[in-house]
Amino acid sequence: MPENAPEITDWLTIPDLADALDETPGRVRRLLDEHFLIGSRRNGAFAVPAAFIVDGRPLSSLRGTIIALQDVAFSDDEVIDWLFTEEDTLGRTPIAALLDGHKSEVRRVARTLA
């Protein structure tokens, strides 16, 4: 685990995601390839933070945020860490802001990270 990485307690493996999303593992991999979800191998098996799934679907505002962060050269682990780390300009973690429907504010901050 990277130094100073946030503590994320709930992770979903590909089979867990397939169950949670009621999709095939192949469809889950496609969601990952198309940046609707992002995951990490930091705990051994590849997994995705459970917070990225809302009401049985990937969080709708996540894809554009992932792409914005990758555009400024963030690795997948760095994207996940940033989403779960308190961001002073937001007054909370970016994932909390996304879950509250503040995607424009989160993406504005993400674009300043270049």
> Which positions of the chain have pLDDT values less than 70?
1-6
Structural domain containing residue 59: 11-111
Say if 5 falls within a structural domain. no
Say if 3 falls within a structural domain. no
pTM, rounded to two decimals: 0.90
Domain count for the chain: 1
Q: Is 56 exposed, middle or buried (0-12, 13-18, 19+ CB in 10 A)?
A: exposed
Contacts of 6 (CB under 8 A, 6+ apart): 81, 84, 85, 93
pLDDT digits (tens, 9 = 90+) for 50-75: 999 999 999 999 999 999 999 999 99
22 Cα distance to chain centroid: 19
Which amino acid, one-letter code, is at 46? Answer: F
- In whole angstroms, what is the distance from residue 16 CA to residue 18 CA? 5
